[in-house]
Amino acid sequence: MEHLILEVGLALALSALAGMIAGKLRISIVPILIIAGMVVGPQAPHIGVFDFRFIQSAALIDFMGKMGVLFLLFSLGLEFSIKQLMASGPSILRSGLIYMLINFSVALLYPLLLGWPIKEILVVAGMMTISSSAIVAKVIVELKRAANDETEIILGLMMFQDVFVAIYLSVVSGLVLSGSTSTVTVLLTAAVALGFIGAFLFLGHKLVPWLNRRLDIPSDETFLLVTFAAVTLVAGISETLNIAQAIGAMLLGLVLAETEHRERIEHIIVPFRDFFGALFFFSFGLSIDPFALGGAVWPVLGAVLLTLLGNTIAGFIAGRRAQLSHRASLRIGLTILSRGEFSIILTTLALSGGLLGVLQPFSALYVLILAILGPILTKESSLVYKLIGPILKWPELPEKRRLKL
């Protein structure tokens, strides 16, 4: 604990430097933060009191990173309302089914063609199917696209994916760790996840008048404490029910978006969202050892190409079925391209189960490439549209709200 504060200071200094570099290059800060984390970490030198391995501060940086994910998703939830999301439920369900049908099928087939065993196939299929909620949320916020037409579908896809994650993780962990799984457990997990999300949104909608009265707090300090307590408690309860903490935070954001205090909450949490969010991507980079990536280059390049195609096609179909323009439909696929925390969780599971060693560098390199490529392609989606639009002969459609609510 002797140099804990110094290590945290170094981490913040590197994150700040990454932000300045991203500003100079006029690109998203996300990939620069991840690379900054990779450059240091366990393989970095220890020079006197300056320890760039971040051993003493690892747990603290990891915790602050988790807070970053919570506030990113909470902030995104505040941009919508339960009424708005429920009204577009059929559209979200169609989009989610289309996304899963295309991407999960491709993700199962690819490792099968590589000749990998069944447990490894299931792990890789999960990695290739589930987007990173944290990166997607950060990119939407950073590019100020929360009010865009396609963001509602992206938000719905993230919730759809989380229900899938709750079920899938239950199945895969049962197979990998114990060699078997229980149908009853899987069905129970699915019912709990769906029940929690549905009950939370229903009760939250009914409690809006009560929340309006309770949140009428004159003191900003107390208001901030109440907001922090609500976000962490709901996230913690979600985690105990095997639902991602971040989705719990996003559900709370959706509920509070209907109250009279939405703007005050947004104003007060933005600095914390940006601060903790930066540390999440830095800590994510710390978990990647750049010297262990070489053995998985070719399988990863194939997986990246298939993910890019699968996400773009699925996002485009979902967008067009919701009557969005070609440009907005293309943005859906590019925005949900990033991979992150869920792939890391599956890798940890694979290591615990003694699966093929290639899965660790495969996961690290795959996540790294898509965590960098996703934000860049999302930012440059207009350029991508200009390049491929004429080739595919897409007619120009007006950029206006066309989703039927």
pLDDT tens digits, residue range 256-298?
988 999 999 999 998 998 899 889 888 878 877 788 777 788 9
Q: H or E segment at 309? A: helix 297-321
Q: Per-residue confidence at 404, pLDDT binned at 50, 70, 90?
A: very low
Percent of the chain surpassing pLDDT 70: 91
The residue with tokens 């200071």 is 9
How far from the centroid of its chain's Cα atoms is residue 143's Cα? 16
Q: What is the pLDDT of residue 403?
A: 44
Q: How far is 13 from 297, CA to CA, in rounded Å?
A: 32
Residue 108 pLDDT > 90, yes or no?
A: yes
State mean pLDDT over 30-42.
Answer: 84
Q: Per-residue confidence at 102, pLDDT binned at 50, 70, 90?
A: very high
227, burial (CB in 10 Å: exposed 0-12, middle 13-18, buried 19+): buried
Q: Per-residue confidence at 202, pLDDT binned at 50, 70, 90?
A: confident
Residue 301 pLDDT > 90, yes or no?
A: yes
Q: How far is 389 from 387, CA to CA, in rounded Å?
A: 6
Comparing 185-199, 204-218, 323-337, 390-404, which segment has the lowest mean pLDDT? 390-404
Comparing 15-29, 35-49, 225-239, which segment has the lowest mean pLDDT? 35-49
Q: How far is 107 from 247, CA to CA, in rounded Å?
A: 24
Q: What is the pLDDT of residue 128?
A: 92
With beta carbons less than 8 A apart as the criterion, state whether 197 and 85 touch. Answer: no
pLDDT in tens, 110-128: 999 999 988 889 889 999 9
pLDDT in tens, 322-369: 888 888 889 999 999 988 777 877 777 777 778 887 887 888 889 889
Top-confidence residue, 65 or 109: 109
Q: What is the pLDDT of residue 49?
A: 76
Percent of the chain surpassing pLDDT 90: 26
CA angle 284, 288, 293 (to 5 degrees): 145
Q: What is the pLDDT of residue 250?
A: 83
Q: What is the pLDDT of residue 402?
A: 44
Q: What is the pLDDT of residue 47?
A: 78
**pTM of the entire structure?**
0.76
Q: How far is 103 from 130, CA to CA, in rounded Å?
A: 9
Q: How far is 1 from 3, CA to CA, in rounded Å?
A: 6
Q: What is the pLDDT of residue 245?
A: 79
Residue 179 pLDDT > 60, yes or no?
A: no
Phi, psi of 239 (to 5 degrees): -60, -40
The residue with tokens 């020079």 is 47
Q: What is the pLDDT of residue 166?
A: 67
With b for 16 or more beta-carbon neighbours within 10 A and e for fewer, the 189-219 pattern comes to: bbeebeebbeebbeebeeebeebeeebeeee
Q: What is the pLDDT of residue 261?
A: 94
Q: What is the pLDDT of residue 174?
A: 66
